[in-house]
Amino acid sequence: MTGDRPTPAAILIERLSFRYPDGVEALRDVTLRIEPGEKVALVGPNGSGKSTLLRHLTGLLTPTGGQVSVMGLPLTTDNLTKVRRSVGFVFQDADDQLFCPTVLEDVAFGPLHLGLSTDEVVRRVRDSLALVGLSGHERRVPQKLSSGEKTLVALATVLSYSADILVLDEPSASLDPRNRRRVMGVLARLDGTQLIATHDLDLAWDLCERTVLLADGRIIADGNTRELLTRRDLLETHGLELPLMLQGPAAEPTEPESHSRK
């Protein structure tokens, strides 16, 4: 008698190490498992290895050691195309992702390469732009959009080919408060697996039930977001601060004491 096969992890990283050509060791023996449907924040100081880790999930970098699997598929040359269809990667700088003359063409790029019919591609473009609140932007020039709109279009480009997993590198970076709220609202409404690398600990608090702290290329802590992000000593040791919502009002500046002689 055989039982049901266990559901594979959405992302399985096993003893992943990576060294850049200049000798910098960016990742050191990282092991991480993310289940389907989890929303996970990846936090850490600059240089901790967050972006390097994300780039391994679509084969943009090749490990020095260890293995990455996505939806049960080892990330190998033979599986690369299938893995990239499962992972929607949103870069920190949307200009690295938007290269077509119009928003419509950028969002249609993925579905067109899946061999879908024209009607289905058009439907996916419309649905994806509606999800991110940019219906009617099809003929806009991406390079002339605001930073927030570019981020939302970049997100629409991966939603349009129905990726199983969303991987986002600093999605709120350089956004004004209004566009940050727009991006967070979209991410909150989306189902499915999300891995979000961010310095924005308030975003992690609001969107992710789990947080992983990375420092010096190693996982330092992994746990419930509300528990991990209240550990002031842990965060400060690794160059981070409590989420702003937990810091309270800023202290009033004190007047310097007078040392004048009488």
Predicted structure pTM score:
0.89
Asked whether 204 and 178 are in contact (CB, 8 A), the reply is no
- Given a cut of 90, is residue 223 above it in pLDDT? yes
- pLDDT value of residue 176: 87
- Given a cut of 80, is residue 83 above it in pLDDT? yes
- pLDDT value of residue 235: 95
**Which has the higher per-residue pLDDT, 112 or 63?**
63
Angle (CA) 111-114-117 rounded to 5° is 70
- pLDDT value of residue 174: 79
- Given a cut of 70, is residue 118 above it in pLDDT? yes
- pLDDT value of residue 261: 41
Strands 65-70 and 73-74: antiparallel
Helix, strand, or coil (residue 188): helix
Q: What is the mean pLDDT of the chain?
A: 90
- Given a cut of 70, is residue 121 above it in pLDDT? yes
- pLDDT value of residue 4: 63
Pick the CATH number of 11-241 from 3.40.50.620, 3.40.50.300, 3.30.43.10, 2.40.10.10: 3.40.50.300
> For 141-166, what is the mean pLDDT?
91
- pLDDT value of residue 5: 67
The predicted-structure confidence for 13-65, as pLDDT tens digits, reads as follows 999 999 999 999 999 999 999 999 999 999 999 999 999 999 999 999 999 99
The percentage of residues in the chain with a pLDDT greater than 90, rounded to a whole number, is 74
Sign of CA dihedral 82, 157, 212, 44: positive
- Given a cut of 80, is residue 6 above it in pLDDT? no
> For 97-108, what is the mean pLDDT?
93
Of 125, 199, 132, which Cα lies nearest the Cα of 166? 132
- pLDDT value of residue 258: 47
